[in-house]
Structure 1
Amino acid sequence: MQKLLFNDKDRFRAQALFLGKGINLQTLENYVCLASMPVLVKAGEEGYAVLLGYGAVVLFNLEPVER
């Protein structure tokens, strides 16, 4: 059974960033990968980040200092 993210919350924050032409996802190290298509990683205390190979990152539920 899949774990649903933010299932216990009424709302959450999301922010999409375009960082550049591309992100080489094969070179990532020292992260907890929760999904691979697209790459979903744990970020901050209670947040997550979706990394897209074409250069975008979508941040979920991160505090400003964690971004």
Structure 2
Amino acid sequence: MNCPKCNKELEKNQSTGVYRCEECNVDYRVAGLCNKCGDKVEKLAACGSVSFWCHTCNELKSKSTVKRILEEA
């Protein structure tokens, strides 16, 4: 993944899941957006399976339909 500000490659902290841009001195987290309404979705993980829940649409979403974005941590 690249920094949305400077386009340099981000470094991922494996223990926290936070991405860091050393050039901009900014931390990012990956967030998911619903493909239907565009609101943030909640990540649900169990037994190695990952799905997402949209509270606005009141629907379960597969990871292939969720749009991933970077947001400042």
Normalized against structure 1, the TM-score is what?
Answer: 0.25
Larger helix share, 1 or 2: 1
Larger strand share, 1 or 2: 2
Larger relative contact order (CA 8 Å, sep ≥ 6)? 1
